[in-house]
Amino acid sequence: MEKDSIAVGLDIGTTKIVAMIGKKNEYGKLEILGVGKSKSLGVARGVVNNITQTIQSIQEAVQDAEADSGYKINDVVVGIAGQHIRSIQHSDYISRNNPEEVIGEEDIDLLINQVHKLAMLPGEEIIHVLPQEFKIDGQTEIKEPIGMYGGRLEASFHVVVGQASSIRNVGRCIKSSGLDLSGLTLEPLASADAVLSQEEKEAGVALIDIGGGTTDLAIFKDGIIRHTAVIPFGGNVITEDIKEGCSIIEKQAELLKVKFGSAWPGENKDNEIVSIPGLRGREPKEISLKNLSKIIHARVVEIVEQVFAEIKAYGHEDPRKKLIAGIVLTGGGSQLKHIKQLVEYITGMDTRIGYPNEHLAGNSDEEISSPLYATAVGLVMNSIRNNTKSATPLVELQKTAPQPAMNVVHEPAVEERLEEVTAGDINKAESTEKRVKRSFFDKYIDKIKDFLDNAE
């Protein structure tokens, strides 16, 4: 079934919205069938602040992807980001009535339901419950508790929390765009899926995803997510600084940043100057590249230092933990010249740029392999795990359209398909961690759908 499933990811960013359609090829690699991109209007720092504009931008990206691929999109996995996201570490336990029986899925579900009862701040909701490791009768470092014996089952969880209203606004935009929501995932987790290797997650790595409105951080160790954070600054504030510092319009500032910008002022000579056409017949404006990189450098240092403070707060400098072997930079902001060197200089840690090409089929378009598309690729990978047919070939739709109603090949609703999948098609050998994520998400997606249905 998985080979035939068509997956769709929707990355709602601050600067761009990307709709991406893909499927797994016979070698298990991701084959991208179509991509649509639109300018993101109505989103600030990862949060929807204008529903109508966001819907228009989503529809534009979806139409582009459909035209590019020849598929009609039914449902999408969406990335959640924004400054309202925070994470907490939480441990919980249950005492089992009969220790002579092996631990089963119902015991895990009982433990998860307890985590749901955590007291949140007003207006907040739990988005992700990610199990880290289990303890049985005091025995630690158990990755897979199912099938074992024990009376007291304990687990530590990484719990990601966000503003309910922000998440529902995203749901409203998806629904009003004529799409179904098949999954929600934290954007840094989607990016991590796309650009990190399992070896890096085991050794310990910090993923820094520099987007337009926010910079997202995800720390992994022993193959487990340990910490997530969202810094409310990204590439847009760098553009804004250039605009102010050079007294030019935003479009020119963005072009300057992309074409000539560098995060390391020492690289530019004093006499390197770029000329910008003047507005409405005014004289052209000359801008020193050294000056430009000083403006960029100041802001990038600020962003990197805030991220590094988060890494240190998590315990990177604790000699007992010695957690992180290195840093991986991704997202549009990671394409800034010399940013890798600057991050290495500030943190003292080995750094590389993360490209999503490891999971992509060999014949993929070079543009899709850019860090700019890391989150979208990760979301498609998430959608593939749902085993649903998130898009239908337009040819099939045309065939079925003119037939009488009783002969129409009925495609089950997304909700029905999700139920079928979760009930029967999931591989029984699936790890507890994946099963927990899946069962939690099915419930959470249903909750959002119910809310949107009742709101009408």
Question: What are the phi and psi torsion angles at 385 (to 5°)?
Answer: -65, -25
pTM (2 d.p.): 0.84
The CA distance from 397 to 317, in Å, is: 57
3 state SS for the chain: CCCCCCEEEEEECCCEEEEEEEEECCCCCEEEEEEEEEECCCEECCEECCHHHHHHHHHHHHHHHHHHHCEEECEEEEEECCCCCEEEEEEEEEECCCCCCECCHHHHHHHHHHHHCCCCCCCEEEEEEEEEEEEECCEEEECCCCCCECCEEEEEEEEEEEEHHHHHHHHHHHHHCCCEEEEEEEHHHHHHHHHCCHHHHHHCEEEEEECCCCEEEEEEECCEEEEEEEECCCHHHHHHHHHHHHCCCHHHHHHHHHHHCECCHHHCCCCCEEEECCHHHCCCEEEEHHHHHHHHHHHHHHHHHHHHHHHHHHCCCCCCCCCCCEEEEECHHHHCECHHHHHHHHHCCCEEECCHHHCECCCCCHHHHCHHHHHHHHHHHHHHHCCCCCEEEHHHHHHHCCCCHHHCCCCCCHHHHHHHHHHHHCCCCCCHHHHHHHHHHHHHHHHHHHHHHHHC
pLDDT of amino acid 422: 38
Per the rule left: phi > 0, alpha: psi between -120 and 50, beta: everything else, 247 is left
| pLDDT digit string (tens) for the chain, length 456 residues | 344 689 999 999 999 999 999 999 888 889 999 999 999 999 988 899 999 999 999 999 999 999 999 999 999 999 988 888 888 889 999 999 988 999 998 999 899 888 888 888 899 988 888 888 899 999 988 888 999 999 999 999 999 999 999 999 999 999 999 999 988 888 999 999 999 999 999 999 999 999 999 999 999 988 888 888 999 899 999 999 999 998 888 999 999 999 999 998 877 777 788 888 877 777 888 888 989 999 999 999 999 999 999 998 877 555 545 568 899 999 999 999 999 999 999 999 999 999 998 888 877 788 899 999 999 999 999 999 877 788 888 876 666 555 544 444 444 443 443 343 333 333 445 677 776 666 666 667 777 777 777 766
User: How distant, in Å, are the alpha carbons of 156, 181, 270 from that of 5?
Assistant: 33, 16, 56
Amino acid in the structure at residue 380: V
**Residues in contact with 135: Cβ distance below 8 Å, sequence separation at least 6, in sequence order:** 93, 142, 152, 153, 154, 155
The CA distance from 192 to 186, in Å, is: 10
CATH numbers and ranges of domains, the chain: 86-164 (3.30.1490.110), 236-294 (3.30.420.40)
Point out which residues pair with 276 in neighbouring strands. 285
The CA distance from 128 to 440, in Å, is: 8
